[in-house]
Amino acid sequence: MTITSQQKINGEGKSFAGKIWKDGNFVPTEFYIQDGRIREGGKKDQIKAAYITPPFSDPHIHGGWGISFQDGEFEQLENKLKSKGIFFAIPTLDNNDIEELRRIAALFRDYKARTPNSIFPFLRVEGPFISLEKRGFQREDCILEASLSKIDALLNIKEIKLFTFAPEITGAETLVRKAVQLGKIPSIGHSKASFQNFLKFYKLGVRHLTHFPNAMSGFHHRDIGLTGAGLFINDLQLEIIADGIHSSFDFISLVLKTKGPVFSIISDMIPPSYSEQDRFDGRRIIKNGKKMTTKDGTIAGGSTSVPEQAEWLYHKGVTPENIVRLACLNTLHVFGIPSPSISNGNEATFLVLDDSMKVKDIYYKGKRIPGSSR
């Protein structure tokens, strides 16, 4: 049979050999693509890879490459993320006034209607019921008191399923009870809550922590705070910006040693990342290498993609198996999405990585798409 150039681009007619993620481990094996699906076995024309993995996930991203979810640029960002090997991501909105959140949610609703197979499941927002002292880069003028009317206003935005809140603020208990009843996900962050305060909300069903341990109460031997809670409580859903800026590798190693590879890595990227842009949401961003801050030194957000973080973790000595869990699979588990399996008969969506865990090729439903990890 003659193999056409289109078949070669799509991966058909060739087999892929290397360490392939299968049933929770890397297995040295070989497969080929037929009709967009994985078939066990080999072909004469072989592509050798160090690692073949499921796609990356990023459950906390504001934008990047000069593109912003705040501006409703969902299609542009979805295409860009796919070109990096990211096939699940949650558009994250900066703290803003309720009317602005409604406006962005309406744009997202329209986009989802046009794009039913979007990689974006819903929206999340950092706020508006957060601590003034722990606001970080979040807008001070949009931090709200958790009155009943304002709680209802936020929770009635159907497209926003996950929101960040501070347990210590007045009205937080009402907020959480209502949110849980509606199937929303309250996430603790931008908070100075004590450990005892945290435990009250843990009993109400709160399990998610926003960009742990940034913008939350630290660890002390008389009050282990939210940082201690994240290390101590086993069934919490932690997300960590593994860029060496927001958290040192020593801290990431501590979490791995204490809890194992059960957290998710996130980018927390803002639009100026990977661009010449130096403003976000009307505010000036100062860049110093990969670090982005306001003029007073407050870290403004992430600037390192999940695929690039995976490379960094590999060079720091984290095992490829753990990197797949942290960067690809744990996020899916948190949100109840089945883990993709690179096995016979399944859809041929996977990443080809080199021996440094850097993206070489991206395959989506059997077709090779151009991309890179940057």
- pLDDT tens for residues 17-72? 999 998 889 999 999 999 999 999 888 788 899 999 999 999 999 999 999 999 99
208-209 vs 237-240, strand pairing mode: parallel
CA 337 to each of CA 102, 329, 331: distance values in angstroms, whole numbers, following the listed order: 27, 9, 8
Q: Per-residue pLDDT averaged across 274-290, rounded?
A: 87
Band (370; pLDDT cuts 50, 70, 90) = confident
- Cα–Cα distance, 74 to 350 (Å, whole number): 23
Q: Per-residue pLDDT averaged across 256-283, rounded?
A: 92
Q: Per-residue pLDDT averaged across 346-350, rounded?
A: 93
What local confidence, expressed as pLDDT, does residue 140 receive?
Answer: 78
257-262-267 Cα angle (round to 5) = 100
CA 308 to each of CA 103, 354, 365: distance values in angstroms, whole numbers, following the listed order: 32, 13, 23
Token pair, residue 28, equals 């040295």
Extended strands (E) in 193-275? 208-209, 237-240, 264-265
Band (374; pLDDT cuts 50, 70, 90) = low
- Cα–Cα distance, 4 to 72 (Å, whole number): 39
- Is the pLDDT score of 334 beyond 90? yes
Per-domain boundaries in the chain: 5-53+340-369, 56-334
- Count helices and strands (H / E) in the chain: 11, 21
**CB distance 136 to 166 below 8 Å:** no
Residue of higher predicted confidence among 134 and 348: 348
- Is the pLDDT score of 9 beyond 90? no
Band (5; pLDDT cuts 50, 70, 90) = very low
- Cα–Cα distance, 82 to 94 (Å, whole number): 23
What local confidence, expressed as pLDDT, does residue 202 receive?
Answer: 98
- Expressed in angstroms, the distance from the first to the final Cα of the chain is 37
- pLDDT tens for residues 175-195? 999 999 999 999 999 999 999
CATH for 56-334? 3.20.20.140
Contacts of 89 (CB under 8 A, 6+ apart): 57, 58, 59, 61, 78, 81, 119, 120
**CB distance 46 to 15 below 8 Å:** yes
- Is the pLDDT score of 8 beyond 60? no
What local confidence, expressed as pLDDT, does residue 373 receive?
Answer: 59
- Cα–Cα distance, 217 to 189 (Å, whole number): 9
- pLDDT tens for residues 79-94? 999 999 999 999 999 9
What local confidence, expressed as pLDDT, does residue 215 receive?
Answer: 94
In the numeric block, the tokens 């990023």 are attached to 58
CATH for 5-53+340-369? 2.30.40.10
Residue of higher predicted confidence among 42 and 224: 224
Half-sphere exposure (CA, 13 Å, Cβ side) for 293? 10
Half-sphere exposure (CA, 13 Å, Cβ side) for 138? 29
- Is the pLDDT score of 1 beyond 80? no
Q: What is the DSSP string of 160-184?
A: EEEEEE-TTSTTHHHHHHHHHHTT-
- Cα–Cα distance, 29 to 24 (Å, whole number): 14
Question: What is the share, in percent, of the chain residues with pLDDT greater than 90?
Answer: 77
**CB distance 94 to 126 below 8 Å:** yes
Q: Which of 17-26, 131-140, 234-243 has the lowest mean pLDDT?
A: 131-140
- Is the pLDDT score of 170 beyond 60? yes
Token pair, residue 305, equals 């993609």
Band (6; pLDDT cuts 50, 70, 90) = very low
What local confidence, expressed as pLDDT, does residue 4 receive?
Answer: 40
One-letter amino acid at 278 equals D
Half-sphere exposure (CA, 13 Å, Cβ side) for 107? 15
- Cα–Cα distance, 64 to 271 (Å, whole number): 4
Give the mean pLDDT of the chain: 92
**CB distance 157 to 93 below 8 Å:** no
Which uninterrupted H or E stretch holds 360? strand 359-364
What count of other Cβ atoms lies within 10 Å of the Cβ of residue 44? 8
324-327-329 Cα angle (round to 5) = 65
- pLDDT tens for residues 94-128? 988 899 999 999 999 999 999 999 999 999 999 89
- Is the pLDDT score of 147 beyond 90? yes
Residue of higher predicted confidence among 110 and 297: 110
What local confidence, expressed as pLDDT, does residue 277 receive?
Answer: 86
Could you tell me which of 275, 200, 212 has the C-alpha nearest to residue 246? 212
What local confidence, expressed as pLDDT, does residue 372 receive?
Answer: 61
